Amino acid sequence: MTPPGGLQAPPGGDAALRARAARVIPAGMWGHLDARRLPAGYPQFFSRAQGGHIWDADGRRYVDLMCSWGPIVLGHHDPVVDAAVAAQSALGDCLNGPAPVMVELCEALVDRVAHAGWAMLQKNGSDATTACVTIARAATGRNTVLIARGSYHGALPWCTPVPVGTTEADRANQLRFDYNDVASLEAAVTAAGHDLAAIIVTGFRHDNVVDQEMPSLAFAQAARRLCDRAGAALIIDDVRAGFRLHRGCSWELLGVDPDLSAWSKAIANGHPLAAVLGRDSFRSAAAKVFVTGSFWCGAVPMAAAVATLGEMDRIGLPERLAELGGYLRAGMARLAQRYAVGLRQSGPMSMPLWLFEDDADFARGSAFCRAALAAGAYLHPKHNMFLNAAHTRADMDAVLAAAEAGFQAIIAA
């Protein structure tokens, strides 16, 4: 799939774009979409996308199992979302205040999420997690926030996993616990004493580079009980998991409702939007904090969100993705057995993570993903992947065919 030796890459192709980017962007790229975080051979630049597929800047097509790291949940260019976007765009987007669609969206969010009495909207997942913490502190008059070790809550100084350029003070008033470990959570609550403002926890454990875990019922109930006892806020960071596991908050599957929740990623099928939802008891605190941004009232992403939520319900999104993901998981298990390669598949069906046994250096995962990429499937060797509703069984079969090339590459190595 690489250009034949001796031939130039197409003008505007990945290699040419990387060379230009190296001149005008530090190290050529920033953040989680930096292709240097992936095995060699992965493209950095993408030219277009449709449904369950994506094309790189060299024109190669892939079944897209990253879905832009979560946002694409109905599929690229979903026609219902595109129509809603076109209709709102024709009226207006960034105005001197919100458009009527903001009310419609907040009503839809409050109606669908059990704990939600109100909604506020932002642009980044980090905006939403930060606002949750701010509202929790405003409501309780306390400062200490409990965060699970290894959990990702965004890339602002208080939560970035890479502290370069941040200060100790950015992480003041934080204590750590281990996800799904009730004793460690209880110990952190005890350590917080009378200053416990909030426990923040992701919808499920999707830390980088370790097997994913669903929250245990005991852990979820303990988190709720400890917050109730202390008068603190339970915050679910559903930025990554939200809407793919359940129509409402991911912890509704366990019958546990938080006080505040953070949303983004899949909320508007790729349009930039985030949300904070909260219980009525946190409404007055939410009204007192000052959080805002120049584009937070942009109407087009809100129209996209209303359409996205509607389509999610119409097609029964979580069930559909779970069925499709179950088909993929079973197929992967068969391949792993056939090739006698130890494969751990973890997390919800709709957000699979594939890690290989005996692969501390990710040599196996890298060889697997490189071969699968060359065979037309865009996978990730360390991070959970994402299904979208435009994916078909035929797409999953194509992924499994590409995965077979991956297993063969592992065997050959």
- Residue numbers 191-230 binding a second copy by CB under 8 A: none
69 in contact with a second copy (CB under 8 A): yes
344 in contact with a second copy (CB under 8 A): no
Judged by CB, which is closer to a second copy: 109, or 256? 109
Report CA 123 to chain centroid distance, whole Å.
Answer: 14
Min CB(225)–a second copy separation in Å: 24
Judged by CB, which is closer to a second copy: 196, or 335? 196
Residue reference for tokens 């240097």: 36
* 54 three-state secondary structure: strand
Min CB(304)–a second copy separation in Å: 10
Residue of 58, 75, 129, 130 interacting with a second copy (CB under 8 A): 130
Judged by CB, which is closer to a second copy: 166, or 408? 166
In the window 363-382, what residues touch a second copy (CB under 8 A)? 378
359 in contact with a second copy (CB under 8 A): no
User: How would you list the strands of the sheet with 377-378, edge to edge?
Assistant: 46-50, 53-56, 61-64, 377-378
* 112, two tokens: 């669908």
- How far, in Å, CA of 37 to CA of 20, rounded? 19
Size of the site for a second copy (CB under 8 A): 109
In contact, 153 and 200? CB cutoff 8 Å: yes
In contact, 272 and 295? CB cutoff 8 Å: yes
175 in contact with a second copy (CB under 8 A): no
In contact, 146 and 192? CB cutoff 8 Å: yes
- How far, in Å, CA of 343 to CA of 336, rounded? 6
First to last CA, the chain: 20
Judged by CB, which is closer to a second copy: 131, or 403? 131
Contacts of 81 (CB under 8 A, 6+ apart): 74, 268, 269, 271, 304, 307, 308, 311
406 in contact with a second copy (CB under 8 A): no
Residue of 80, 114, 138, 405 interacting with a second copy (CB under 8 A): 138
How would you class 81 by CB atoms within 10 Å of its CB: exposed for 0-12, middle for 13-18, buried for 19 or more?
buried
64 in contact with a second copy (CB under 8 A): yes
Residue of 35, 191, 363, 401 interacting with a second copy (CB under 8 A): 35
Judged by CB, which is closer to a second copy: 256, or 304? 304
Judged by CB, which is closer to a second copy: 91, or 183? 91
- How far, in Å, CA of 141 to CA of 195, rounded? 8
- Region of 180-188, 221-229, 263-271, 324-332 interacting with a second copy (CB under 8 A): 263-271
Min CB(337)–a second copy separation in Å: 30
DSSP 208-226: TTS--BPPPHHHHHHHHHH
Residue of 249, 297, 321, 396 interacting with a second copy (CB under 8 A): 297
- Region of 115-123, 223-231, 246-254, 366-374 interacting with a second copy (CB under 8 A): 115-123
393 in contact with a second copy (CB under 8 A): no
76 in contact with a second copy (CB under 8 A): yes
How would you class 289 by CB atoms within 10 Å of its CB: exposed for 0-12, middle for 13-18, buried for 19 or more?
middle
- Region of 169-177, 201-209, 341-349, 389-397 interacting with a second copy (CB under 8 A): 169-177
